[in-house]
Amino acid sequence: MIPSLGISEIQQFPAANGNILVIVRRDL
């Protein structure tokens, strides 16, 4: 996580095609 950029959560998990899918959630 990178709090300095205001990112509250970063989730990484392998996608079906083998690539890494990254979901970034921000508090609005």
> Scanning the structure block, which residue is given the tokens 């990178």?
2
Q: How far apart are CA 27 and CA 23, in angstroms?
A: 13
Convert the pLDDT of each residue in 1-23 to its tens digit: 555 555 556 666 777 777 777 77
Residues 1/12, Cβ–Cβ less than 8 Å: no
Res 14: pLDDT: 73
Residue with tokens 């996608």: 15
What are the CA-CA distances from residue 5 to residues 17, 19, 24, 25 (Å)?
Answer: 29, 25, 11, 12
Domain residue spans of the chain = 1-28
**What was the pLDDT predicted at 8?**
59
List the beta bridge partners of residue 21: 13
The per-residue pLDDT for 18 is 75
Using alpha carbons only, how large is the chain's radius of gyration in Å?
Answer: 11
- What per-residue confidence (pLDDT) applies to 24? 73
**pLDDT for position 12:** 67
